[in-house]
Amino acid sequence: MATRGLFISFEGIDGAGKSSHIEPLADAFRAQGRTVARTREPGGTELAESLRELLLNRTMDALTEALLVFAARRDHICQVIAPALARGEVVLCDRFTDATFAYQGAGRGFSLETLSLLERMVQTGIAVEPDLMLEPDLTLWFDVAPAVAAERLALARAPDRFEAQDAAFFERVAQGYAARAQAAPERFVRIDGAQSRHAVWQQLTNALVRRGWLAIMVAANGGPK
């Protein structure tokens, strides 16, 4: 039987710098001969990308939002994440369930108990490990002050429905991430996202080198351009 692959999620408030580091990390794993599934949430399948369009652009209440996020996640897990892990691949996922606890939970104020219930329903009963709740092996949390992230985004693109939220919303989301990190310190690695791209790359590759997942030489030669 093939060894289960590696599941790494990237988290942080909008503009924290996650996406800029995913492709360079995918290249680093490829340089070591690994097959990489690079994906994102909400999204990653045709169905989930359709739900993403709705989530990012249409007005809806908090329960509808939470249910759509988890519906997209279930399809994404079944179609993409679980099969890739079963093939022994490295899955690099731009956001996963920590985002739901941070945005829908801390940001919108939706019940954390209900989110935990949905998390268990959606992330168990997966063919490879039916009794286990699927979770990332590692979560790279790009921690950045909302004011810094907002400044970066203002220079980068027009805001979607989440990015258009006020500073207080992002303060709550940031606190939501901090609470998730505190509750699962063995899974989370905090990256100081306010530093330069090079320094951020060094922090995240150090975490992978420490775990024996990335060779020092590969880490040293890569990074965002």
Ligand X SMILES: Cc1cn([C@H]2C[C@H](O)[C@@H](COP(=O)(O)O)O2)c(=O)[nH]c1=O
Hey, is 219 helix, strand or coil?
helix
Q: Is 14 annotated as a binding residue?
A: yes
Among 82, 109, 99, 83, which residue's Cα sits nearest to residue 42?
A: 99
Interface with ligand ATP in residues 8-67 (CB under 6 A)? 12, 14-20
The answer to whether residues 34 and 90 touch, using CB atoms and an 8 Å cutoff, is: yes
* Binding pattern for the stretch 183-202 against ligand ATP, x by CB under 6 A and - elsewhere: -------------xx--x--
* Binding pattern for the stretch 8-47 against ligand X, x by CB under 6 A and - elsewhere: ------x-------------------------xxx-----
Supply the DSSP symbol for 14: T
Q: Is 12 annotated as a binding residue?
A: yes
CB 145, min distance to ligand X, A: 17
Q: Is 43 annotated as a binding residue?
A: no
Q: Is 18 annotated as a binding residue?
A: yes
The answer to whether residues 85 and 74 touch, using CB atoms and an 8 Å cutoff, is: no
> Quick one: how far is CA 14 from the chain centroid?
11
CB 225, min distance to ligand ATP, A: 10
For the record, the structure tokens of 193 come out as: 């996202």
- Residue 121's identity, in one-letter code, is M
Q: Is 75 in the site for ligand X (CB under 6 A)?
A: no
The residues binding ligand X (CB under 6 A) are: 14, 40-42, 69, 94-95, 99-100, 103-104, 162-163
